[in-house]
Amino acid sequence: MREFAYSRAGDLEEAGRLAEEQAGRFIAGGTNLLDLMKLEVETPKALVDVSRLPLGEISPTEDGGLRIGAMVTNADLAADQTVRRDYPVLSRALLAGASGQLRNKATTGGNLLQRTRCYYFYETSAPCNKRNPGSGCAALDGFNRIHAILGTSDQCIATHPSDMAVAMLALDASVETRLPDGGSRTIALKNFHRLPGQTPEVESNLQPGELITSVVLPPPPKGRHIYRKVRDRASYAFALVSVAAIVAVENGKIASARLAFGGLAHKPWRDRAVEEALIGQEPSEALFEEAADLLLKEAAGHGHNDFKIPLGRRTLIAVLSEATKEAAQ
Amino acid sequence: MTTDANTYAMDEAVGETRLDRGTQGVLGKPLNRYEGALKVSGRAPYAYEHLAGEDVAYGFMVTAGIGRAKIRSVDTSKAEAAPGVLTVISGDDVLRASALPMAPAAQTIDGEVFHYGQPLALVVAETFEAARHAATLVETLYEPGQGRYSLRDQLDEAVNPGPGAMQPDNLRGEFEAVFAEAEVQFDETYTTPSHSAAAMEPHASVAKWDGDNLTVWSSCQLLETNVIQIANGVGVPVENVRLLSPYVGGGFGSKLGIGPDAVLAALGAKAAGKPVKVALSRQHVFQTTSRRSETIQRVRIGTTKEGRITALAHENFVVNSTGNSFFEPVAISTVFLYAGENRKITHRLAETDVLMTASVRAPGEAVGMLSLESAMDELAIRLDLDPIEFRKLNEPEVAPQDDLPFSSRKLLQCYEEGASRFGWQNRPEKPASRREGEWWIGSGMAAASRSHQLMKSSAEVELAPDGRATVRTAMTDIGTGSYTILQQITAEMLGLPPGHVTVLLGDTALPPSSGSGGSWGANSAGSSVYLACEDLVRELAKRLDVDPSDLTLKDGQAIAGNRQIPLGEILGGETLTGRGTIEPGKTAETTNQASYGAHFCEVAVNAVTGETRVRRLLTVAAAGRILNEKTATSQCYGGQIWGIGSALEEELVIDPRTGLLVNHDLAEYHVPVNADVPQLEVVFLEERDTAASLLAGKGLGELALAGVGAAITNAIYNACGVRVRDYPATLDKVLAGLPDA
Ligand SMILES: Cc1cc2nc3c(=O)[nH]c(=O)nc-3n(C[C@H](O)[C@H](O)[C@H](O)COP(=O)(O)OP(=O)(O)OC[C@H]3O[C@@H](n4cnc5c(N)ncnc54)[C@H](O)[C@@H]3O)c2cc1C
Ligand code: SF4
């Protein structure tokens, strides 16, 4: 670990100022950033501790949605009564992630910005365009079992590991931030994360020093909430494929469908075309297969991760069957 | 009182002993761990925790970021100039990796990189953080070499490695001819990946010099050879070195030889002029200690139509790095487990430029029985026989390779007990025939066997004037329960409440011991303690003028005829010391000694995703006398959990381009977590093996792992019809063969 300056921000203004003055990085739960600093995958010169900022509240919004402070821990968010009642997909996604101990520390803001688990990203002696732009991608022809099959580039095929963000994307969440100049803005979550393209080192559309203050959920969508995570062991493993689904069936037809996917791409993945293909249709195996084909039309494996294509397909079909099961009868 | 060593060689089976009388009634009982309270309250110091509060320095290793190379230069100047750095140890004398068990020392690097992640230097600094950062400042120039990283590419170069834990070749009769003529022929190839022992406590050492004398606290399994390895690595006479390992947080073979930390800490302490602590990072543990070889195993079995084995072959390819002749004894159980006149068991060792391979829990069985027990299942199905019936048909009367009698063998009883407890007769008869919602349900079984070994071991037991006893031996307790069972043996032998027995272990200042490995520890160290106690009993009997066999010891009293005298009174203020040394003897050559068991498992396989969940796992074991039912059961739980890992999860991935061990942390090297482990069940059959040890017990710790993984993959087949022969059976491999959801 390199030496770094540490300061704790007492309020938002101070957080912004410290980050700007010291070109500092925010640290919240530290469950990802600290690990990366120990290995010197990340080498910030200064840390601004934002964990004590007054951003720990979960509160209703005027339009019937929910505002989740950036410092709300994954454990608290998963256990929140409103979340469990109105946004069960989110609670389930959170509980499918990491371990109890990690969820006690991990924060809402930090979770969105956690970095990939690509093995080579963690191994500083290996080439990696994300860690060391221009050095190459060791995963492309290497061991890439956990890597992406959608939206990859020739520079990087890493995935975004978050479960929480997948559920939030299905919920049409947006991210509220405070800019270094004191202003604030709202970014739809679907525009928050980036595909690797030619700059895999840039993972979100945040500006340097821009602080996540909260995540806002619109009013709870109707329908059945499902989060299904497929992984290599029953707990404490990242998703090989995950699906967050909120599907409503009315009069025997799919009235609405929100589907987001983890483990497939460099960001939580959502494909409106898949949802549109479902809406207004009668649930059927054939329809689900069509949706899965649409989702995976451009999917490409890199060898070890080829199985994610049939796995993604089967998982989506199973989730859709479950989501529409009784309602269809 | 004998002052000589009181050495006893196991040349013949023992008769009834004081232990069989069970007067005190403590041996075998499920006593809590001797050191349990210390451990759960943080008062049992592990290696790195010694010298707390003293002025010490910290070392961090620099490792190679290349798989094979000549080292042109190692520039330590930037690191030496970094804040807090005291010294940097580098050069050709740095050790490559761990020492092989029993080897005199680890090999030095001699200006070369032999594997990715190889230690190159040690940075010693005032703080751990300063050392770790400065380690990144050491600049190494390489002349890259041509590395060999894949076993598959080296098969043509593989050689007969010569004798190791077993003979590499075990041939009998005319395998090829008989197999070619066999009515039923089975021929399949299995692969198993490399494994890391991944013990909870990383390898760590603290070294302190006092003039020319060196004290090292390290996490070690075999102190007698480990201290020699340290002395040779540091370059001092072994008499000058004292090694202590009072508590060890798991070793599983990876601490049979010293890790790179021990010698580096000593060299660092010498250079820095103060004690140095070196703990391997988790990444270092994966990359710089040792690992289990990946294997390629071809199993061929010829049988009659009725299912009698006439020809049996198990041919294996394994790897090690240059200069290391250890080979994974893959087919060690195949040699004696099933009948068959014509046999061909071979091991060929290839070289790769990857971290050396060595023993990992149940070397041989852990991977060899994945294939053998899978093959037996496949063949039973082909023969339309119940897998248990097929095994019973081929139960040998004597060891099939050399016709030696079995010292004890309750394998058939294990099958029977297991089948009835598990409800084997209710299992689905055909694959993919039982379904619960999205899950296919199936059951599988496998046999377990593990060769028994007894090793030379010495102990001293002191009986103090207050009638309390102290056991001294350089045995280790690697989390298994050594402290507890040695206390129980002493309490039983001397008729003392267990609380009156103190046990001192893990220190080369104590009588030399077998240490822990190969499941030999309990019976070897235990037999030496038994002998030391007998020594004391003889002396007590002499003082009471009775024959030792007429002396009963119970609750601190000696009872002879109608006399009952407190021990303290007999001692009359004196302290008595009993000594004992056990040695393997002729019984090891005149009988085939092994522990046996049977595993029964129910799995659910997800019809959509191919995920497997183990729902029930039962092991029935017969391993001679069980010394403590609780610690023995815990050993078996551990073995079962390792079995789940080897069947479904564990795989140390080697990048074939560079030799990098790709998934070198516990986030990506998957071992089972609680949610993967169902309620486990372990049953012991009553057994005494009087040829195996003075305690009439046999090795147990590794038995419970042998075969478990095959019971699981057999159950996967029974559940969904998919046979995975390339371990581990991760969901992608199951998915590939699944019927439509
Ligand atoms: C072994 C292991 C297993 C895991 N398994 C899973 C899993 O299965 N599923 C899953 O989803 N996650 C998993 N995680 C990841 C875990 O969820 C994340 O580490 C955690 O959510 C990060 O939150 P944090 O508050 O600790 O972030 P930190 O480590 O503090 O920060 C992470 C990043 O976010 C930035 N940051 C933090 N807060 C803000 C803010 N308010 N504004 C701007 N930037 C900010 C930091 O600068 C840093 O770049 C696992 C982690 C580990 C170590
Ligand atoms: S996939 Fe991305 S993160 Fe992984 S090695 Fe390639 S560039 Fe680096």
Q: Mutate which of A2, A145, A233 to disrupt the B interface (most B C-beta within 10 Å)?
A: A233
Residues 6 or more apart from A161 whose CB is under 8 A from it?
A114, A115, A116, A117, A238, A239, A262
What does the block give as tokens for B155?
């098969």
Smallest CA-to-CA distance from B26 within B632, B354, B496, B353 is with: B496
| CATH number for B235 | 3.30.365.10
Interface touch B655/A143, C-beta < 8 Å: yes
Is B666 near chain A, with CB under 8 Å? no
* Ligand 2 center from residue B80 Cα (angstroms): 33
> Hey, CA dihedral for B42, B44, B48, B51, is it positive or negative?
positive
> Does residue B729 sit within a domain?
yes
The whole-angstrom separation of Cα B117 and Cα B108 is 14
- Residue ending a domain, choose from A52, A69, A90: A52
**Number of domains forming the structure of chain A:** 2
The verdict on the CB of residue A283 being under 6 Å from ligand 1 is no
> Does residue A243 sit within a domain?
yes
Is A285 near chain B, with CB under 8 Å? no
pLDDT confidence of B2, banded at 50, 70, 90? very low
Is A34 near chain B, with CB under 8 Å? no
> Does residue A34 sit within a domain?
yes
Classified as helix, coil or strand, B223 is helix
* Ligand 2 center from residue A157 Cα (angstroms): 6
Q: Mutate which of B62, B142, B609 to disrupt the A interface (most A C-beta within 10 Å)?
A: B609
pLDDT per residue over B642-676, tens digit each?
999 999 999 999 999 999 999 999 999 999 999 99
The verdict on the CB of residue A48 being under 6 Å from ligand 1 is no
A148 with A266: CB under 8 angstroms? yes
Q: What is the pLDDT along chain A (329 residues), one digit of tens a residue?
A: 899 999 999 999 999 999 988 889 999 999 999 999 999 999 999 999 999 999 999 999 999 999 999 999 999 999 999 999 999 999 999 999 999 999 999 999 999 999 999 999 999 999 999 999 999 999 999 999 999 999 999 999 999 999 999 999 999 999 999 999 999 999 999 999 999 999 999 999 999 999 999 999 999 999 999 999 999 999 999 999 999 999 999 999 999 999 999 999 999 999 999 999 999 999 999 999 999 999 999 999 999 999 999 999 999 999 999 999 975 44
Q: Closest residue (by CA) to atom 37 of ligand 1?
A: A110
* Ligand 2 center from residue A139 Cα (angstroms): 6
Within B49-208, residue ranges assigned H as helices are: 77-81, 128-135, 175-181
Helix (H) or strand (E) holding B634: helix B629-648
> Does residue A261 sit within a domain?
yes
Is B655 near chain A, with CB under 8 Å? yes
B563 and B609 housed in the same domain:
no
Q: Residue A154: nearest ligand to its CA?
A: 2
The verdict on the CB of residue A161 being under 6 Å from ligand 1 is yes
Interface touch B735/A310, C-beta < 8 Å: yes
- Residue ending a domain, choose from B249, B265, B288: B288
> Does residue B206 sit within a domain?
yes
Q: Where does B452-541 show beta strands of DSSP type E?
A: 457-463, 469-472, 501-504
B119 with B113: CB under 8 angstroms? no
B203 and B119 housed in the same domain:
yes
> Does residue B164 sit within a domain?
no
* Ligand 1 center from residue A103 Cα (angstroms): 9
> Does residue A144 sit within a domain?
no
B92 with B108: CB under 8 angstroms? yes
Distance of residue B718 Cα from the nearest chain A Cα, in angstroms:
21
**Number of domains forming the structure of chain B:** 3
pLDDT per residue over B475-502, tens digit each?
999 999 999 999 999 999 999 999 999 9
The verdict on the CB of residue A203 being under 6 Å from ligand 2 is no
> Does residue A163 sit within a domain?
no
Q: How many A/B residue pairs have CB atoms within 8 Å? A: 88
Quick check: is B341 catalytic?
no
Interface touch A117/B611, C-beta < 8 Å: no
Distances (CA, A) of B310 to A222, B297, B303, B382: 67, 20, 5, 16
Average pLDDT, stretch B685-696?
A: 98
Query: Which A positions 215-234 lie with beta carbon below 8 A of chain B?
Result: 230-234
Average pLDDT, stretch B460-465?
A: 97
- Residue ending a domain, choose from B584, B608, B625: B584
* Ligand 1 center from residue A38 Cα (angstroms): 15
Q: What is the pTM of this model?
A: 0.97
B393 and B499 housed in the same domain:
no
Average pLDDT, stretch B3-31?
A: 92
Smallest CA-to-CA distance from A199 within A146, A167, A158, A239 is with: A158
Domain span including residue B577: 7-30+455-584
B468 and B576 housed in the same domain:
yes
Interface touch B657/A142, C-beta < 8 Å: yes
B502 with B548: CB under 8 angstroms? no
B471 and B511 housed in the same domain:
yes
B501 and B434 housed in the same domain:
no
Interface touch A235/B674, C-beta < 8 Å: yes
Question: Distance between alpha carbon A57 and the CA centroid of its chain, in Å?
Answer: 21
> Does residue A232 sit within a domain?
yes
The whole-angstrom separation of Cα B241 and Cα B247 is 19
Smallest CA-to-CA distance from B453 within B513, B527, B406, B520 is with: B520
What pairing do the DSSP bridges indicate for beta strands B213-218 and B241-244? parallel
The whole-angstrom separation of Cα B79 and Cα A56 is 42
- Residue of chain A whose Cα is closest to the Cα of B731: A232
Interface touch B136/A234, C-beta < 8 Å: no
pLDDT per residue over B92-138, tens digit each?
888 877 888 878 888 889 999 999 999 999 999 999 999 999 999 99
| CATH number for A233 | 3.30.390.50
Burial zone of B420 (CB within 10 Å; 0-12 exposed, 13-18 middle, 19+ buried) = exposed
> Does residue B741 sit within a domain?
no
Burial zone of B565 (CB within 10 Å; 0-12 exposed, 13-18 middle, 19+ buried) = middle
The whole-angstrom separation of Cα B182 and Cα B641 is 38
Interface touch A142/B662, C-beta < 8 Å: yes
- Residue ending a domain, choose from B524, B550, B584: B584
Smallest CA-to-CA distance from B386 within B424, B333, B435, B336 is with: B424
The verdict on the CB of residue A169 being under 6 Å from ligand 2 is no
> Does residue B189 sit within a domain?
no
Residues 6 or more apart from B308 whose CB is under 8 A from it?
B339, B393, B394
B469 with B494: CB under 8 angstroms? yes
Residues from chain A contacting residue B438 (CB–CB below 8 Å): 318
> Does residue B275 sit within a domain?
yes
Distances (CA, A) of B734 to A234, B377, B447, B713: 16, 18, 23, 10
B435 and B356 housed in the same domain:
yes
> Does residue A45 sit within a domain?
yes
B304 and B408 housed in the same domain:
yes
Residues from chain B contacting residue A237 (CB–CB below 8 Å): 670
> Does residue A164 sit within a domain?
no
Residues 6 or more apart from B298 whose CB is under 8 A from it?
B187, B188, B189, B190, B313, B314, B315, B316
Residues 6 or more apart from A132 whose CB is under 8 A from it?
none
Domain span including residue A236: 224-324
